[in-house]
């Protein structure tokens, strides 16, 4: 009887999970498949499959210089943001996790409070600051604020990792005349690789999908990132729904692939942070 109840509960959980997965993947699949259709097909049968399949929508976009320019801009912004967030985050987390000093708790609480501080609240003063620095319509004007907004999540995840490193390892390294900097490079970084990968993926995907900050900072198509490129393309070809769907799917595929490849790393990194 108990086994029957357990199997019934498992079946209910699986069905609920499948429904949730369907709700999440349904719009993505619709956008990707819709890019292989014509506008007349979408108008006549919005939920149907392409008949015939039209590949020109994707090939025309892939041959566009604007698309690849925006891909390059998004890549530059995402890579620099990720490297800076992970690099600065692990150094700050090391200090907060391994050293005792006055104000350490307040500093950690300040970074934790950053998680509750959305970019929409700071966008106006942030734009004024970027403008005064002369960074409007430049990629650094987007990169620097993204680094600042990415550090709180990185530090909150990495501090438990670094706290979990046994003190005996550090003491043994000190006996072997290993400096603090040497211990950081030789022991801390290798042991915190799962956390570094997790925070790096989160920073990369968040930067790649960022829309609000580039919308305020960038105003020239030569500096547009892909989210802004999607908006500009949709405005320019508002009548050509199929081509807009193709452009949208191409812009989101890199982030989806990147996230899917490292999904287990993210789960493992977050699990390690909770255990720590």
**29 within domain boundaries:** no
Give phi and psi for 167, each to the nearest 5. Answer: -65, -25
Residue 119: count of CB within 10 angstroms of its CB: 15
Number of domains, the chain: 1
**Per residue of the chain (276 residues), what is the pLDDT tens digit?**
555 665 667 778 788 888 887 888 888 888 888 889 888 888 888 878 888 888 888 998 899 888 999 999 999 999 999 999 999 999 999 888 888 888 888 888 888 887 887 777 888 888 999 999 999 999 999 999 999 999 998 998 888 888 887 888 877 877 878 777 888 888 888 888 888 888 888 898 889 988 889 999 998 888 999 999 888 888 887 778 888 888 888 888 877 777 777 666 665 555 544 444
List Cα–Cα distances, 8 to 11, 19, 20, 21, in angstroms: 5, 17, 18, 20
Contact predicate 188/165, CB 8 Å: yes
> Residue 156 is part of which domain span?
73-232+253-275
Tell me how far apart the terminal alpha carbons of the chain are, to the nearest angstrom.
39
For residues 24 and 247, what is the distance between their CA atoms, to the nearest angstrom? 20
**241 within domain boundaries:** no
**112 within domain boundaries:** yes
Distance of CA 61 to the CA centre of its chain: 24
- Block residue for tokens 């990147």: 258
pTM comes to 0.83
CATH number of the domain enclosing 147:
1.10.3720.10
**5 within domain boundaries:** no
**27 within domain boundaries:** no
**37 within domain boundaries:** no
């Amino acid at each position: 009887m108990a086994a029957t109840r357990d199997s019934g509960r498992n079946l209910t959980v699986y069905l609920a999970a499948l429904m949730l997965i369907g709700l999440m993947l349904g719009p993505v699949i619709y956008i990707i498949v819709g890019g292989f259709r014509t506008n007349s097909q979408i108008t006549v049968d919005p939920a149907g499959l392409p008949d015939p399949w039209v590949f020109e929508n994707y090939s025309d976009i892939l041959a566009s210089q604007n698309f690849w320019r925006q891909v390059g801009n998004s890549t530059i912004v995402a890579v620099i943001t990720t490297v800076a967030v992970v690099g600065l985050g692990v150094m700050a987390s090391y200090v907060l996790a391994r050293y005792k000093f006055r104000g350490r708790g307040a500093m950690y609480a300040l970074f934790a409070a950053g998680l509750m501080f959305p970019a929409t609240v700071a966008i106006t003063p942030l734009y004024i600051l970027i403008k005064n620095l002369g960074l409007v319509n430049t990629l650094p004007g987007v990169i620097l604020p993204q680094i600042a907004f990415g550090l709180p999540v990185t530090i909150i995840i990495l501090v438990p990792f670094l706290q979990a490193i046994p003190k005996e390892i550090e003491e043994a390294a000190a006996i072997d005349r290993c400096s603090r900097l040497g211990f950081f490079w030789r022991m801390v970084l290798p042991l915190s690789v799962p956390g570094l990968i997790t925070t790096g993926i989160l920073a990369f995907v968040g930067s790649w999908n960022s829309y609000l900050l580039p919308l305020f900072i960038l105003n020239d198509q030569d500096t547009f990132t892909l989210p802004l490129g999607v908006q500009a393309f949709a405005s320019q070809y508002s009548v050509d729904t199929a081509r807009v769907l193709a452009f949208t799917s191409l812009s989101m595929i890199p982030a989806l692939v990147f996230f899917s490849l490292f999904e287990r790393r993210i789960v493992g990194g977050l699990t390690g942070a909770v255990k720590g």
